[in-house]
Amino acid sequence: MSGPSTYEPKYAAAKWMDKRLPIIRMGADFMTFPSPRNLNYWYTFGGILALCLVVQILSGVILAMHYVADVDKAFASVQRIRRDVPFGWLLQSMHAVGASMFFLAVYMHMFRGLYYGSYKAPREVIWILGCAIYLVMMATAFLGYTLPWGQMSFWGATVITGFFGAVPVVGESLQEWLLGGYSVDNATLNRFFALHYLLPFVLAGLVGLHVWALHHVGQNNPIGISEKTKEDTLAFHPFYTVKDAFAIAAFLVIFAIFLFYLPDALGHADNYIEADPLKTPAHIVPEWYFLPFYAILRAVPDKLAGILLMLGAIIVLFILPWLDTHKVRSMRFRPIARWFFIFFIFFCFVLGWCGAGTPDDIAVPFGKNSGITFYRVSQIATVYYFAYFLVILPVLGLIEKPLKRPDSITKAVLGDGKHGETLAPAE
Amino acid sequence: MAFKTPKNILLGTVLVVTSISGMAFAAGGGVHGDYKMKHPDWSFKGATGTYDRAAAQRGYQVYREVCAACHSLKYVAFRHLGDKGAPFYLEDYPNPSDNPYVKNFAADWQVADIDSETGDEIERPGIPADYFPDPFPNEPAARASNGGALPPDLSSMVKARGNGADYLYNLLVSYDVPKPADVELTPGLHWNPVMEGHKIAMASPLSDDLVSYEPVEIIDHGKSKIVDAPPATVEQMASDVTQFLAWTADPKLEQRKSIGLMTIIYLLILSILLFLSYKRVWRDVKH
Amino acid sequence: MSDSSTTHATTEPEDGSKRDFIFLATGATAAAGAAAIGWPLVAQMGKAADTLAAGSIEIDLSKIAVGQQLKMLWRGKPVFVRHRTKAEIETAENTDISDCPDPETDNERLVPDNNGNLRPEFLVMVGVCTHFGCVPVGEAGEFDGWYCPCHGSHYDTSGRIRKGPAPKNMEIPPYVFVNENVIKVG
């Protein structure tokens, strides 16, 4: 939907620049980009995520100025940041809480994409780039969590690098190559720091491609019907800049509540203990945003199978555009799929809950001392997770009858026959 | 539709936030079944809570006279005691190194050093820039003096345990809870219902009147105030040292909360203004 | 369906017309917030509390023989303490300072001890060339004081700049006499 550029340079300097590097044109086209007029608040998470990335990169670069990547000094350097560096406590908390906020927003963004069918043609590449962004985010978060060199950092790194040890034949060599030693040690910490600094810029590059692809094919919208006329769209600025800005401010309120009043609520107490290779913490669990995958990992009793399953849970997202073949994008018009989608969200939460629990503990009690263990619950939820993508969506694609859809966005918004309203922003 | 979605988002956000907080809190707690955790009303809890200066000052005394025999506080420097928000902060001494309390306390400790002339290992009185000295020269020495157990560093102890202030307080006051008959203790271990696994190498550290409290002077809203010494019961000392260690674990708590309040008020105002701008921009547009 | 009277989606607000109070207030509030968050991002690069509290050093003068120079590290910079010879002191005191680029008498470069007496035999200064921060070599240069090998600055026996590109005399650090023989720098 990126039609011909409507930008016309007004001043001589702007004209001069436009002939050489049309960067002002690029910005202007970005601002005037025609967006569907019916985007709701779920569509503001893209802007929120852009802000999250900026916050993480800014605070991260600053922390790197004070952090020391050395097993003997890393923990102490973080303590120094929290105690002695001017505003270090604020920046360190901002980075740690910011990671959680980033994932909170990315999950909202992904659920939105799933519900409104934003992965369907012609937006497959946007979706795949989004999955790649999510994957790099997970890698970055994991690497970053190692850096404070607390107990959870150390044991998290030990467990996750252990995944690579499960690869047949070469597993052990691969794991040791990754660690640069027999175990998580100084070499590991240093390379994790280097990669943790690098990946966010890879992330920024991927985000650039994600947005480029979005601007090439145009935004999806809640009814999933493509824009047909100019009436269907509004200029990105000021309509969506102001809406996104409002959403960002509201999101920052939640961010600030965590940052200033619950800075440790999303972390683990054990990470305030310096890494000790001789003692594993009693309850070793990943950060909340990894819990569903952790539950899938533990849902099968075999090491390799667990890892493959967990990997599969992410890979299945990449191929989703070809699994869901239904011609209607938005679940607003797919009454059956909508229910399955609601169950899907429910089971994602169930998986998270199982990830936090101990597998053999009773999750759903029946009478005294008996009931369903977290292990069994996570198996049920894992089956649903995969069934949703591999069975339910493909089958519904063939059989589901959609509801009657409006002809266009404008008709959906205005109803038939209402005209004459202006599309210019109010002064 | 315009009103439906913001509500959905709000609902969704609340749901997600509460469930992730729930998941994060889920792990924890290994208290023995018969013991009921006490939950003192800590002054530093809540959105506007601050440290109880008098209690934290007494807590310093408990740490100095009791805990410091075995436990280090290695990330805390003497000068920290005189920082803004710290137990011994004085407005007249913005530079904590000049604070008379800090100077006296520092000089009261012996700090290991190297004689710059001879290269010999020496001990000298501390200065404000020094960190609290480790009671043991190294880890094997610490283990050797404590029956093989390593006394943990206390700098961040209150943050290093779930619900750390309550944990620490209850650990210290629950030594007199009788051991269940079926529990066998190896020599050198003690029964404690709050400790993970209920067996602890540390013998009961506190007993009534172990330290002699003196009245402390605190500055309350710019006015000097003398706080009388309470009786040095185990509960009192446990509560005081918890106040002190809560401060060592989170020395910026008071700045954090006051900046947080301003930030949130600001963000709420900004949100309202942006919402009004949004309504204005979209005034004539149906969507 | 498309109505010719509707303006295009790309229409912008009419610039120059009355700007709404709400927009102004919002913009100003957002700008103020951006400025406020900028401060911690800048301030974090300043000296941290542990750096500010970096200890002072004590130097025992009695161990420095006549004609010897002691070099000690203070705040990451070398401090020179030179036990000057009689000849060096005389040269330093009898220099016509009007010729110097940074005129200072030798006495102005000393700190009195607890009895209020100057101790001209001990010259204490930060051993950093005021040109670009190299450490000058002692008992060298055209004035037999210090010579900076980096860009050829000559200092005299009082540490004053006499020739070369350096603009100022070598700095005197803050120090006091703890007793007759010990000084405390910082």
Residues A311 and A168 in one domain: no
Task: Give the pLDDT of residue B2.
Answer: 42
Q: Tell me the percentage of chain B whose pLDDT exceeds 90.
A: 71
**Cis status, amide bond into A200, omega within 30 of 0:** no
Confidence band of B285 (pLDDT split at 50, 70, 90): confident
Task: Give the pLDDT of residue A366.
Answer: 86
Mark yes or no for CB contact A263/B280 under 8 Å: no
Subunits that touch chain C (at least 3 Cβ pairs < 8 angstroms)? Answer: A, B
Q: What digits encode the pLDDT tens for the residues A400-410?
A: 999 999 989 98
Confidence band of B27 (pLDDT split at 50, 70, 90): very low
Residue with tokens 């010990």: C182
Tokens of B134: 């480790």
Q: What average pLDDT does this structure show over A415-423?
A: 51
Cα separation, B156 vs B135, whole angstroms: 17
Residue with tokens 């390593």: B150
> Distance (Å) from the C-alpha of residue B26 to the closest C-alpha of chain A?
7
What are the distances in angstroms from CA C7 to CA A234, A238, B85, C4? 10, 15, 59, 8
Q: What average pLDDT does this structure show over A39-52?
A: 97
Q: What digits encode the pLDDT tens for the residues A47-73?
A: 999 999 999 999 999 999 999 999 999
Confidence band of B7 (pLDDT split at 50, 70, 90): low
Task: Give the pLDDT of residue B62.
Answer: 97
E-state strands within B170-261: 190-191, 199-200, 216-220, 223-227
Instruction: Please identify among residues 36-65 of chain C the ones whose CB lies closer than 8 Å to any CB of chain B.
Output: 36, 49-50, 52-55, 60, 63
Confidence band of C5 (pLDDT split at 50, 70, 90): very low
Confidence band of C163 (pLDDT split at 50, 70, 90): very high
What are the distances in angstroms from CA A266 to CA A62, A192, B97? 22, 22, 35
Instruction: Please identify among residues 220-239 of chain B the ones whose CB lies closer than 8 Å to any CB of chain A.
Output: none
Q: Which residues of B87-122 are buried (b: 16+ CB within 10 A; e: fewer)?
A: bbbeeebeebbebebbbebbeebebeeeeeeeeeee
CATH number for A107: 1.20.810.10
Least confident span in A97-106, A311-320, B7-16, B27-36: B7-16
**Is A16 within the bounds of a domain?**
no
Residues of C catalogued as catalytic:
151
Q: Which domain holds residue A72?
A: 32-225+232-278
Q: What digits encode the pLDDT tens for the residues B103-140?
A: 999 999 999 998 877 899 999 999 999 999 999 999 99
Helix count (H) and strand count (E) of chain A? 17, 4
C46 touches chain A (CB under 8 A): yes
Residues A176 and A320 in one domain: no
Res A421 pLDDT > 50: no
Q: What average pLDDT does this structure show over A40-44?
A: 96
Residue with tokens 């802000």: A51
**Is A24 within the bounds of a domain?**
no
B255 touches chain A (CB under 8 A): yes
Mark yes or no for CB contact A242/B274 under 8 Å: yes
Cα separation, C129 vs C108, whole angstroms: 19
Indicate the SS3 state at residue A309.
helix
Contact at 8 Å (CB) between C103 and C168? no
Res B25 pLDDT > 80: no
Cα first-last separation, chain C:
82
User: Domain C52-185 adopts which CATH fold?
Assistant: Rieske Iron-sulfur Protein (2.102.10)
Tokens of A363: 């999750």
Contact at 8 Å (CB) between A104 and B15? no
Q: How many CB atoms lie within 10 A of CB C150?
A: 15
Q: What digits encode the pLDDT tens for the residues A317-358?
A: 999 999 999 999 999 999 999 999 999 999 999 999 999 998
Task: Give the pLDDT of residue A422.
Answer: 45
Chain C residue numbers with beta carbons less than 8 Å from the beta carbon of B95 are 52
Indicate the SS3 state at residue B125.
strand
**CA nearest neighbour of A132 among A208, A196, A77:** A208
Mark yes or no for CB contact A272/B156 under 8 Å: yes
Cα separation, B10 vs B7, whole angstroms: 5
> Distance (Å) from the C-alpha of residue A194 to the closest C-alpha of chain C?
21
**Residue boundaries of the structural domains of chain B:** 254-280
Res C33 pLDDT > 60: yes
Mean of per-residue pLDDT scores for chain C: 87
Number of structural domains in chain A: 2
Tokens of B62: 């408990």
Mean of per-residue pLDDT scores for chain B: 89
CB < 8 Å & 24+ apart, contacts of B171-180? B171/B195, B171/B200, B172/B205, B172/B206, B172/B234, B172/B237, B172/B238, B172/B241, B172/B242, B173/B38, B173/B234, B173/B235, B173/B238, B174/B35, B175/B204, B176/B204, B177/B34, B177/B35, B180/B34
Task: Give the pLDDT of residue C82.
Answer: 95
Nearest CA in chain A to B25: A265
Instruction: Please identify among residues 367-426 of chain A the ones whose CB lies closer than 8 Å to any CB of chain B.
Output: 413-414, 418, 421-426
Confidence band of C18 (pLDDT split at 50, 70, 90): very low
Cα separation, B78 vs B125, whole angstroms: 12
Mean of per-residue pLDDT scores for chain A: 93
Chain C residue numbers with beta carbons less than 8 Å from the beta carbon of B270 are 26, 29-30, 33
H/E stretch holding C153:
strand C153-155
Tokens of C153: 């600055």
**Max CA pair span of chain C:** 105
Residue from A37, A87, A258, A272 to probe the interface with B (highest B Cβ count within 10 Å): A272
**Residue boundaries of the structural domains of chain C:** 52-185
Contact at 8 Å (CB) between A276 and A151? yes
Residue from B131, B275, B277 to probe the interface with C (highest C Cβ count within 10 Å): B277
Cα separation, A154 vs A273, whole angstroms: 10
Cα separation, C186 vs B32, whole angstroms: 55
C1 touches chain A (CB under 8 A): yes
Contact at 8 Å (CB) between A345 and A289? no
β C153-155/C146-148 pair status: antiparallel
Residues A61 and A132 in one domain: yes
**CA nearest neighbour of C49 among A80, B152, B65:** A80
Confidence band of A4 (pLDDT split at 50, 70, 90): confident
- CA angle centred on A313, ends A312 and A314, rounded to 5°: 90
**Cis status, amide bond into B205, omega within 30 of 0:** no
Tokens of A12: 């001589």
Contact at 8 Å (CB) between A154 and A275? yes
Confidence band of B183 (pLDDT split at 50, 70, 90): confident
Residues A37 and A108 in one domain: yes
DSSP per residue over A234-246, as a string? EEIIIIIHHHHHH
Instruction: Please identify among residues 124-143 of chain B the ones whose CB lies closer than 8 Å to any CB of chain A.
Output: none
Task: Give the pLDDT of residue C53.
Answer: 84
Confidence band of C20 (pLDDT split at 50, 70, 90): confident
Q: What digits encode the pLDDT tens for the residues B92-107?
A: 999 998 899 999 999 9
> Distance (Å) from the C-alpha of residue C126 to the closest C-alpha of chain A?
27
Query: B13 versus A271: which is more confidently predicted?
Result: A271
Helix axes A45-66, A88-115, angle to 10 degrees: 150
Task: Give the pLDDT of residue B143.
Answer: 93
Contact at 8 Å (CB) between B153 and B72? yes
Residue from C8, C29, C70 to probe the interface with B (highest B Cβ count within 10 Å): C29
Mark yes or no for CB contact B269/C29 under 8 Å: yes
Contact at 8 Å (CB) between C152 and C146? no
Task: Give the pLDDT of residue B22.
Answer: 56
**Is A94 within the bounds of a domain?**
yes
CATH number for A318: 1.10.287.980
Q: What average pLDDT does this structure show over B59-87?
A: 96
Contact at 8 Å (CB) between B34 and B195? no
Nearest CA in chain A to B280: A426
Cα separation, B17 vs A79, whole angstroms: 28
